[in-house]
Amino acid sequence: MAEQPPTLSDEDLIPRRYQEEIFEKAVHGNVIAALDTGSGKTLISTLLIKWVSTREHAHKKLVVFLVPKVALAQQQGAFIAKHSPLRVKQATGATAPDMSDRIGWQELLNDVDVIVLTGKLVSSYGSQ
């Protein structure tokens, strides 16, 4: 039997119907949500992150959330932290340890459920 998506509590933001539909599709497969700015992609992502984190196989797993800009890393990280019980950190080119600094990355990722990273930070790893 397939697991059911979580129900929302009164303390959560209430998604619009189209956000619920996208979330439901994402629960069952890959989805690209091409929506306008301000249409609630972050809410959909947060719902999905919360759902994934409740799955049995998610124990001690890390969710990596990629964004294109530093300001979005801060904004998305703050939103996820505010609207979920998960431990969230952000890292950008200016704040992250050097990619070769294993100890620095271990410290950054210690006691964290979600890490919000800029895509440029991740892509720079492949160019080293």
Token readout for 56 is 């049995």
Residue 88, CA distances (Å) to 16, 25, 83, 100, 111 in order: 25, 25, 11, 22, 9
β 63-67/88-91 pair status: unpaired
- pLDDT tens digits along 52-90: 998 888 777 899 999 999 999 999 999 999 999 999 999
Residue 1's pLDDT is 45
**pLDDT average, residue stretch 4-33:** 80
Residue 89's pLDDT is 94
| Residues contacting residue 19 through CB under 8 Å, at least 6 positions apart | 40, 43, 44, 47
Domains of the chain with CATH codes:
17-126 (3.40.50.300)
